[in-house]
Amino acid sequence: MDFLDALAKRARTIDAALDRYLPPENADPQVIHAAMRYSVFAGGKRIRPALTLAAADAVGGNPEHVLPAACAIELIHTYSLIHDDLPAMDNDDLRRGKPTNHKVFGEDIAILAGDALFTHALHLLVLGGRETGPDPVLLLTVVEEVTQACGSSGLIGGQVMDLLAEGKPVSEEDLVRIHRAKTGALFRVGVRAGAILSGAGLEQLASLTTYAENFGLAFQITDDILDVTGDEAKIGKLVGSDARNRKSTYATLFGIGEARAKADRACSDALAALDELGREADFLRHAVQFVAAREY
């Protein structure tokens, strides 16, 4: 499999769906819809929603049936980036090589654009149930898991812990807790959503959950490394943001060499979790290899 080609193909499918699902830019009030679309279509890799589709494939489901849920995951991810970039958070001026949302639309509209993307994501989860007709219990399970993954014990909680840890010594245990919530929770629920809506068995779901948890950890570690060693032209933002914000990361806590070793172990564990799944899970396997070697 040419993973980058396969990812680009899934990204085109996701982008087309996002364009359909989002309100048009000229809908009133125009500024909020322009701000939402600005960040959603700023050039993301679409790795999270692609994994949702791939999880459906891995358990014999139809990826088209989980497309609304995959798009919901991407909208939530985009909302989190808009808020992360705000002056009160990471205070970043660039995202994916473009001015951050608040630099273009102002802090007030950026905050509201993030809020709107999150609420629209929940709308898409329900819309997906209407379009594809999954078991209502499965749909409610996914809605419950998504909202929990984004709340004070998930994404938002991880962001809070990250803020509170700035300028303070952090243990590896604390660092894992921060990243499992801030980054890992969305990878985990994205993969689980695709599997659950496709009728995954308990053993399949357990394997995919272990995969997603280790994938998310490897992704975050490589992100930490790229913030130190990355090429700004490739990663689309200024490097050194973590150091400027006095954040403890895998790179600062362990050094680049040991951080890479930890990322490699997480990648190995992710691949091992897929041992009982067939070739239908190959996209997930190649995604791990992409993370291990990624430069952006």
DSSP 3-state percent helix, strand, coil across the chain (nearest 5): 75, 0, 25
CATH number (domain holding residue 220): 1.10.600.10
HSE toward the beta carbon, residue 276, CA cutoff 13 A: 12
* Mean pLDDT value of segment 103-113: 98
Name the amino acid, one letter, at 254: F
pLDDT at position 158, please? 93
pLDDT per residue over 134-190, tens digit each? Answer: 788 899 999 999 999 999 999 999 999 999 998 888 898 999 999 999 899 999 999
CA distances, 97 to each of 59, 118, 121, 230 (Å): 36, 23, 25, 13
pLDDT at position 233, please? 63
Number of compact structural domains in the chain: 1
φ/ψ of residue 99, rounded to 5 = -55, 140
Contact 42, 98 (CB under 8 A): yes
Contact 142, 188 (CB under 8 A): no
Q: pLDDT confidence of 232, banded at 50, 70, 90?
A: low
Domain range for 225: 3-293
pLDDT at position 46, please? 97
pLDDT per residue over 250-284, tens digit each? Answer: 998 899 999 999 999 999 999 999 999 999 999 99
